[in-house]
Structure formats: structure tokens, C-alpha cells
Structure 1
Amino acid sequence: MITTGFALAGVLALAACSDAPAAENDDASAQEQSAEAGAESPEQGADGEQPELPEADTSDVPEVVAEVNGEEITGEDFTVLYESQFQQMAMESQMTGEEPDQDQLKEQTLESMIGNELLLQDAEDEGYEASEEEIDALIADAAETAGMGSSEEFIEAYEEQGMDEEQLTEDAESQVLINQVLAQLEVPEPSEEELRETYDEAVAAQEGAEGAEGAEGAEGEEAAEGEEAAEIPPFDEVRDDLEADATDQARNEAALDHVEDLRAEADVQTHL
């Protein structure tokens, strides 16, 4: 919810388009490995060709999908975000063989947009402001995430999607404000005991996986040898990474709790 809100729906759509070739390459690599192992992927047909990706169904999206304290969330904004989310899920479905649940994804997308609107309204109530430098920095980060060389290149691609630079700037400004709200939330620091517990669980999980592979015979032994090369480093070497992950998770939970508090006092009407 924090990083895929409606404020940067256009950014997400572009990122999804930019990531598509890489995803296709990953699929091709996975299919090649599967063929070498003598197995056929569940979604691959007898002729070896990939089926076409399913299409997002937006026929039931109204002009206004929700109202949050009187502020409308338009069906147009919803469709941009939903289609980008659906594209990612559809590509994942090629690997799993499971059809995307569009109803569930629409509900999740709408809840994400409502949560971001609540956070944006909270930022405005608190008097937060987004500077030009912060907006430019966010757009530059989005350009890098989308694999583009510069903000200018990113803006051009954004406009090719039928949107304009002014809208991108407004969306980026909204996201900066939301980020300011999230930065003010109290996030507890993980204890040394919690970090140790997380590390021990990771080590135990790897040992269990290696044991299962070893029981499969010669092929299992070869796989186990491959896993050994990627053995988890000592605790001291990964402690900072564990702490960063735990802090990110705590920040996400704090954000969700804050949205729940805001929603409990808000007037939210949905029309989807």
C-alpha cells in the first residue's frame, strides 16, 4: 500500500511496462531450465508456446469508485493502477498456472487507493508541504526504478502513455506528502533477541531444505552441493540487513495501523 498507491499510478504503469521484457526473459530462462530437467511447465502447451496473457476486465468500473471524506477517487485513476497491478499478476500466473482473481485484486487496489487518500488528507491536515527538490528527487528515483536514464526520459515515456508532466508532478507531490506522514510514525527498533531469532529460523529453514534434497539420491546430493555454495553468512555479517528488514516490516505495520485509525473516523463510501 505504501509504495503502490494511486499517487504514483502512472509511475507504476510505466514501471510495469519497462519490466515486461525482463520478465519475459526470466520466463524463457525458467522454461529452458524446466526442459533440461525433462519437465514441462504447467502453463506451457504441447507446442511449447506460451498462452496469451489474460486481459484486465474493467467493464464494471464506474466513473467514481469511492468517496473519502467527500473526495472522489475516479474510475480513471483506479483503472490505471488496476491494469498495472493486473499485468504483473498475469505474468506471475504464467509461472504458477493459476488465473488471476480479478475481483480480489480490484478490492485490494481500491483499498490501497482509499488508504493513500486518507494518508494524503492527513498530510494536508497536518500542514505538510512538498518542496520542488523533494518532488524532483522522487521523479528521479521513479525513473531509475523504471530503468530509464534520466527524469526527462521518464517524463517523455509518461506522456507517451497519454498523461502529462503536470499530472506526474501532482502525483509525485502527493506521494512526497504521504511519505512525510509515514516518516513521523513511531517505529520500534528490533531487539537483538528478535534479530537472532530471525537468523536462527533462516538457518533452520535452509538446513531443512538441504536435508530434503539430500534424501532424493544423487540428484538431491548435487542440488544440496549447489545450495551449500549459497550458505547463509554468519550472524554478524548479516545483522545490519536483518535490522533493516525488521525495521521496514515494522514501518509497514505502523502505516497500516495508522490508516485503520484514520478510516475509523472517516466517511468512506465505495461504489465498485
Structure 2
Amino acid sequence: MKKWLTGLSIASSMLVLGACGGGDDSGEDTGNAENQQESQGQTASGSGEEGGGQSAQSGEGQQEMPEPDMEGVPDVVAEVNGEEVTKDEFQQAYESQFQQAAMQQQMSGQEVNQDELKKQVADGMVSQELLIQETENRGIEAPEDEVNKTLDDIVKQNQMKSQDEFFTAMEEQGMKKDEVMSQLKTQVKMDQLIAEETGDIEPSDDELKEIYDQQKEQMSQMQGEEGGSEMPSFDEMKPQLKEQVVMQKESEAAQTLAEDLKEKSDVTVNL
């Protein structure tokens, strides 16, 4: 849950995750960023503490999990129009992204380039700060009913019974209620900002069918000749496919806006 919130918003989390994806495919990688964040929300309460234990363990045939290297990271990682991105803020975001990269390393065998990852995370955090500042510049508000709706969604995603249970769990992880609410308000503002940029997104059936066919082909290749479970029909998958397209377009809009803002802003990265 803590990981879910520390991104401040779905849109900004897309940026960080997209940067960490790297390469020309980052826009596509971020299409599922919200789903990734939601799944983190359901598991992060244990992953932060268990991650250390997991890094110390190496199963048979698996290499030991590497550790994040914070040596040489300055106290002020970046400055964005006079606002500082501190080492503590950076470390929290970096360790989250490093954990994902390290798990991928175990599967692929390719070593994590920590210098490159640090630059990517810092760039994502700069983009996040620029978007937050833009919500203030546009005078975007966070209505109480929207904040409560977002909170209810998170409670549901974490399979909890009430907001009080959620706040108790967050406090056990070191986040007080007012801090959580502040981040939720920022998230609502960011969501509205991206909605202003994208307008109403209504994917066509052709778009959805193209993604469906791609996923069906990938599934077929993964299963190979042995076969396996059959993919649900297009009609069954349609709501999920629509959600994927909407998230991808929101991610692309967030990244485009952040790049535009960066060109007009005073940004210094000290890594």
C-alpha cells in the first residue's frame, strides 16, 4: 500500500515506471502501469519489509538478489523551478524501482545498471514534480467526494473492510493519516490534469481488436506446441482491453505534457 501511494498519483507513477522501462517501448510499457501499481498496492505492505529478507535468500539455482547502491547520491537530487527533490524522496522511489529491476534480473540474468536506473528514476521524479506544479498553476482542485472515491477504490483494491482499517495499516508503516490524505489529494489533482490533456478517450473496436490479436499471438508463442489454457473471447476481454488503451493514452499524454513543461522550466539534476 505504501508503494501504491508514494508515487503520489497514477499518472506520475506511469512516468517513473515508463522511465525505468527504458528505450522506445516505454510508452507501451506504461500502458499497464496502473495495474502494476494496483497489484503493488495489494502486496506492498509486506514487500517493503520482506524485500530485505528476500535479498538475503537465494533459492536453488537462483542468484542472490542485489542491493540498491545509494553511494554518491547528493542530498538534493534535483531542483525543479526552485523545488527540491531530496535524497530521502529519491531513495524511496529508487528502492521501489530497483526491487522490480532486480527481480527482472533474476529472470533474465542481465545485471541491473544502477547508474542508468538512477538517472531514469530522477528523470521520472522531475516529470512528476513538473506535473504537480502544473496542477497548481492551473488552479486544479481536489473535491472531497473525488478524494473519498479514490480512497474507497484503494481500500477495495487492498481488500480491506473500511477506510479506518486502511489508515491503521498505513500508520503501522509510518504514514500518518494527514500525509496519506495529502497524497490522495495530489493524486486527484493529477488525474484531473491528465483528463484535461486527453479529453474523453473512447477506443475504437479496431484498436481493441488489434491489441487482442497481439496478446493472443503472444500467448500462443509462450505456450508453444504443448498448448495450454485458451484465451477468453474478444467480447469477454473487451472491458479489460479498453482499460489498457485508456491507461496507455493517459500515460502518453502525461509524458508529453511533462516534456513540454521541462523545456519551459528551470530544471537541474545533480546525479
Q: Specify every segment of 5 or more residues in structure 2 that has no aligned partner in the other structure, as ranges.
A: 1-9, 17-37
Which whole-Å deviations, capped at 9, do the CAs of 1:131-190 have from their partners, x for residues lacking one? 334334434444554555543344344334444333222222222211110121225533
**Corresponding position of 1:2:** 11
CA distance in 1, matches of 2:146, 2:104: 33
> Deviation of residue 269 (structure 1)?
0.9
Q: Specify every segment of 5 or more residues in structure 1 that has no aligned partner in the other structure, as ranges.
A: 28-42, 215-222
Q: Check conservation: 1:16, 1:87, Cα contact below 8 A.
A: no
Of 57, 72, 79, the match for 2:84: 72
Of 95, 110, 115, the match for 1:83: 95
CA distance in 2, matches of 1:3, 1:256: 9
1:89-128 matches, cutoff 5 A: 89-128=101-140
Number of aligned residue pairs: give it. Answer: 235
> Deviation of residue 256 (structure 1)?
1.2
SS of match in other structure, 1:185:
helix
Identity %: 37
Of 172, 180, 196, the match for 1:184: 196
Going from structure 1 to structure 2, the CA distance change for 1:15 and 1:44 (only over 3 Å counts) comes to closer
Is 1:158 equivalent to 2:188 in the alignment?
A: no
SS of match in other structure, 1:66:
strand
Is 1:198 equivalent to 2:211 in the alignment?
A: yes
**Corresponding position of 1:30:** none
Q: Check conservation: 2:12, 2:128, Cα contact below 8 A.
A: no
Going from structure 1 to structure 2, the CA distance change for 1:157 and 1:52 (only over 3 Å counts) comes to farther
CA distance in 2, matches of 1:234, 1:199: 9
**Corresponding position of 2:233:** 234
Q: Check conservation: 1:53, 1:91, Cα contact below 8 A.
A: yes
Which whole-Å deviations, capped at 9, do the CAs of 1:95-148 have from their partners, x for residues lacking one? 333333222221222122111111111111111111334334434444554555
**Corresponding position of 1:252:** 251
**Corresponding position of 1:220:** none
RMSD of aligned residue pairs (Cα, Å):
3.5
**Corresponding position of 2:242:** 243
The structure whose RCO (Cα within 8 Å, separation 6+) is larger is 2
After TM superposition, the score normalised by the length of structure 1 is: 0.70
SS of match in other structure, 1:2:
helix
Going from structure 1 to structure 2, the CA distance change for 1:158 and 1:197 (only over 3 Å counts) comes to closer
1:134-149 matches, cutoff 5 A: 134-146=146-158, 148-149=160-161
CA distance in 2, matches of 1:60, 1:139: 37
Going from structure 1 to structure 2, the CA distance change for 1:123 and 1:235 (only over 3 Å counts) comes to same
